[in-house]
Amino acid sequence: MLLLHKLRLLLQKLGFSMLNLKLISDSLNIIVCFHVPHSMDHQELNIWSFWKGGLSWSTSLNPSIFLLYLIHFGAVYYALVCPRPPPTATPEQIRLFKKFTEPSLLRGRASIKGKTVREAQKTFRITRVDEFMEVGTYLRVHVHPKRFPRCYEIDWKSRIIAVRESYVVLDKPAGTSVGGTTDNIEESCATFATRALGLTSPLWTTHQIDNCTEGCIILARTKEYCSVFHRKIREKKVKKLYLALAAAPVPIGIITHYMRPINMAPRLVSEDCIDGWNLCQLEVLECREVPWPVADIEAKYSIEECGWPSKKKAYECKINLLTGRTHQIRAQLADCGAPLVGDSMYMPAAVAETTNPGLNPFGKCQKQYTSEEDKEMDVTEWIARHGKEPAVAIGLQAYEISWDAGEHVYNAGIPWWKQEQL
Q: Which residues contact 413 (CB under 8 A, 6 or more apart)?
A: 171
Among left, alpha and beta (phi > 0; psi -120 to 50; other), residue 175 is left
Pairing verdict, β 313-321 and 396-403: unpaired
| CA-to-CA separations, 381 to 15, 349, 359, 360, 384, in angstroms, rounded | 46, 10, 8, 9, 5
Quote the pLDDT of residue 50. Answer: 47
Is position 210 annotated as part of the catalytic site?
yes
At 67, is the pLDDT very low, low, confident or very high (cuts 50, 70, 90)?
A: confident
At 195, is the pLDDT very low, low, confident or very high (cuts 50, 70, 90)?
A: very high
Tell me the C-alpha distance between 233 and 217, whole Å: 13
Quote the longest CA-to-CA distance of the chain: 72
Per the DSSP assignment, residues forming a β-bridge with 16 are 32
| CA-to-CA separations, 220 to 241, 256, 257, in angstroms, rounded | 20, 32, 32
Where do the domains of the chain lie, and which CATH numbers do they carry?
28-35+61-145 (no CATH), 147-235 (3.30.2350.10), 239-406 (no CATH)
Tens digit of each residue's pLDDT (9 = 90 or more) over 277-321: 999 999 999 999 999 999 999 999 999 989 999 999 999 999 999
In this structure, what DSSP letter does residue 84 have? P
Tens digit of each residue's pLDDT (9 = 90 or more) over 23-39: 334 566 666 654 444 44
Quote the pLDDT of residue 56. Answer: 44
Tens digit of each residue's pLDDT (9 = 90 or more) over 100-119: 888 888 888 888 888 998 89
Which residue among the candidates 210, 275, 296, 404 is catalytic per the annotation? Answer: 210
Quote the pLDDT of residue 60. Answer: 56
Tell me the C-alpha distance between 287 and 284, whole Å: 7
DSSP result, 174-211: TT--SS-BTTBSSSSHHHHHHHHTT-SS--EE-----T
